[in-house]
Amino acid sequence: MPGNNIVLELSFQFALEIIKYSEKLEEARKFGLAKQLLRSGTSIGANVRESQSSESKPDFIHKMKIASKEAEETEYWLMLCKYAENYPKNDELLVTVSRLKRLLGRIISSAKK
C-alpha cells in the first residue's frame, strides 16, 4: 500500500500482521482470542481509513478516537497472549500497537487545536 500517510500505512501493515498472528492462534486452537484480536486489530486501520473521508473535523476526531480505543483493546488481547500459558508469543505486535497508540494520540490532540 504505497503512500506517505504514516498512520494509514502503519495501521494497514499492522492489520496484515494481526491476520498472520490470528492464524497462528487458530492453529494453536486459541479460537476465542484469535477472533477478538482479529476484529479489534484490523478495526484500527479500518477506522483510520474511514477518518480520511470524514464529513467534519469533529467526525474525523471521533473516528480517530474509535481507532485509538480499538488499539487499546488490541493491546489488551496481545498482553493476554503474552502472559497466558501455551500461547504463541509476538512481542513485535505489542511494540507496533504501542506506536500506533502514541501516533493516534498525537493526531487526536493536534486535530483538537
Domains within the chain, CATH numbers bracketed: 6-112 (1.20.1440.60)
Q: Among candidates 42, 61, 60, which has minimal Cα distance to 52? A: 60
Is the pTM of the predicted complex or chain greater than 0.85?
yes
Tens-digit pLDDT profile for residues 60-77 = 999 999 999 999 999 999
The C-alpha atoms of residue 109 and residue 75 are separated, in whole angstroms, by 21
**pLDDT, tens digit, 9 for 90 and up, residues 12-63:** 999 999 999 999 999 999 999 999 999 999 999 999 999 999 999 999 999 9
